Amino acid sequence: MRIYLRLPLASILALLNLFCYSNVESIAGVNKYLFASATFPTLIVAVGEAPFNNGFFNWLFDIIFPERCSGSWIDFSAEGFNNALKERVYGQPLIGLSNAVQQHWSNNQPAKALLLSMHGPPGTGKNYVSGILIRHLFIKDSKSKFYHLFSGTVHFPHKNQVQTYKDQIQAWVRGNVSICPKSVFVFDEVDKMPATLLDALKPFVDSYQHIDRVDYRRAIFIFLSNSGSDMISRYMLAQKKLGKDRSEVYSKLDDKLPLYLYDESNGPLRKSDLLKHHLVSRFIPFLPLERLHVTECIKDYLKLHYPDWLYGPDFIERVLNKLVFVPEREKFFSSTGCKRVADKVQLQMSIDEMSDKDKRRRRNEL
């Protein structure tokens, strides 16, 4: 639970507990000793969080303060979001993303719903960035009732049931936006969805004031997909050889990516009405990651999981050598971005451990 929600409650409990030491006999009709023994453990959890699994406290808190569709539960600070991106995302310029969200979220009557389409090779951070965005939109993060995640392979696996899926999506979006206009719908693995499925969203991202009295214009839709990655990678490689920097490449892709998706790609967007009718508010390319970005991911992983471990500089080098870098000759970009980092760190650690044991054994034999 967020600290600023926890603290006020803890302070109230603490004050009431303090009363127990005064001359009063009862608090809110309850004997003061009984009151103190009942509220003190809750106070400890509220302040410390550590002594108990805070699941209980969250549950209690949810009952006392249920999530509502209002400003205290739904918010966005472009500054906070930008700082999080700067600290935790490597090599992705993402110019204009926070502005787009900020403008949309603060506008009471936007012209249409915001539709962000994120494209890029695996492991470049699409899911990661969308997760950071959700954390900055909803106090309850991904547990918010107003956040909905659909995955192409999990929710819509069968090509022959497109019509059923379409009806389902429409019912869900309609139902949820009626409850809260500031709902967010993320569609992951869009490239693995049946081609025409996305057309189900067309009425909701178009500029109608309302449909059957439901106004969809304040909602946010986010697509995550790998389509276009081949083009992004090719373009990035060519520009890198010319010595162009990443933000320059990013800005150029702003125009190139939609044209490519529309003309040449085989992805579902090409056939979708959303693209034909220019309903995507923004295409967000994710660029292939270079050695120095992957290095940062490895460091982050180590810091998170082995905070006290002092590794030598060659450890990171050895992990990097376990990853595949393309193209064959120049080896500029990690073929899996930062995706395989955890596996490779683990692998390298067990290799090191084995060779350490081996050395020790040989030393003992000598």
Ligand X SMILES: *[C@@H]1O[C@H](CO)[C@@H](O)[C@H](O)[C@H]1NC(C)=O
282: which strand partners? 116
| Intra-chain end-to-end CA distance of the chain, in Å | 57
Q: Which is nearer to ligand X, 169 or 316 (CB)?
A: 169
> Which is nearer to ligand X, 172 or 311 (by Cβ)?
172
Q: Which of these ranges, 22-30, 96-104, 172-180, 291-299, lies near ligand X under the rule CB under 6 A? A: 172-180
172 touches ligand X by CB under 6 A:
yes
Nearest to 246 by CA among 259, 237, 258, 257: 237
Nearer to ligand X, 219 or 253 (CB): 219
Segment contacting ligand X by CB under 6 A, of 21-29, 34-42, 168-176, 223-231: 168-176
Is 39 or 176 the residue whose CB approaches ligand X more closely? Answer: 176
CB of 172 to ligand X, least distance (A): 4
Which CA distances in Å does 351 have to 40, 182, 319, 354? 49, 49, 11, 5
Distance of alpha carbon 339 from alpha carbon 305, whole angstroms: 16
d(CA 267, CA 287): 18
Binding-residue total with ligand X (CB under 6 A)? 5
Q: Mask: binding to ligand X, 93-132, rule CB under 6 A, as x and -? A: ----------------------------------------
Tokens coding 329: 């000759």
Nearer to ligand X, 148 or 246 (CB): 148
Closest to ligand X by CB, 51 or 175: 175
Q: Which is nearer to ligand X, 165 or 250 (CB)?
A: 165
Residue whose Cβ sits closest to ligand X:
175
Closest separation between CB of residue 168 and ligand X, Å?
Answer: 9
The C-alpha R_g of the chain, in whole angstroms, comes to 26
Tally of CA atoms within 13 A in the half-sphere of 276 that contains its CB: 9
Judge whether 274 and 198 are in contact, CB under 8 Å: yes
DSSP calls for 191-235: GGS-TTGGGGGHHHHS--S-BTTB--TT-EEEEEE-TTHHHHHHH
- Asked if 281 touches ligand X (CB under 6 A), the answer is no
> What is the closest distance, in whole angstroms, from the C-beta atom of residue 234 to ligand X in the complex?
36
Q: Mapping DSSP to helix (H, G, I), strand (E, B) and coil, where does residue 326 land?
A: strand
d(CA 255, CA 261) in angstroms, rounded, equals: 11
Contact 254, 240 (CB under 8 A): no
Contact stretch for ligand X (CB under 6 A) within 62-70, 170-178, 231-239, 274-282: 170-178
Task: Tell me which stretch binds ligand X (CB under 6 A): 6-14, 169-177, 289-297, 333-341.
Answer: 169-177
- Each residue 129-158 as x (binds ligand X by CB under 6 A) or -, in order, gives -------------------x----------
Binding window for ligand X (CB under 6 A); candidates: 10-18, 91-99, 167-175, 230-238: 167-175
Interaction of residue 202 with ligand X, rule CB under 6 A: no
Q: What is the largest CA-CA distance in the chain?
A: 85
Question: Considering the rule CB under 6 A, would residue 176 count as an interface residue with ligand X?
Answer: yes
Q: Whose Cβ is closer to ligand X: residue 85's or residue 184's?
A: 184
User: Minimum CB separation from ligand X for residue 188, in Å?
Assistant: 13
Contact partners, residue 191, CB within 8 Å, separation at least 6: 152, 225, 226, 227, 267, 268
Judged by beta carbon, residue 41 or residue 175, the one nearer ligand X is 175
- The residues of the shown chain that bind ligand X, judged by CB under 6 A, are 148, 171-172, 175-176
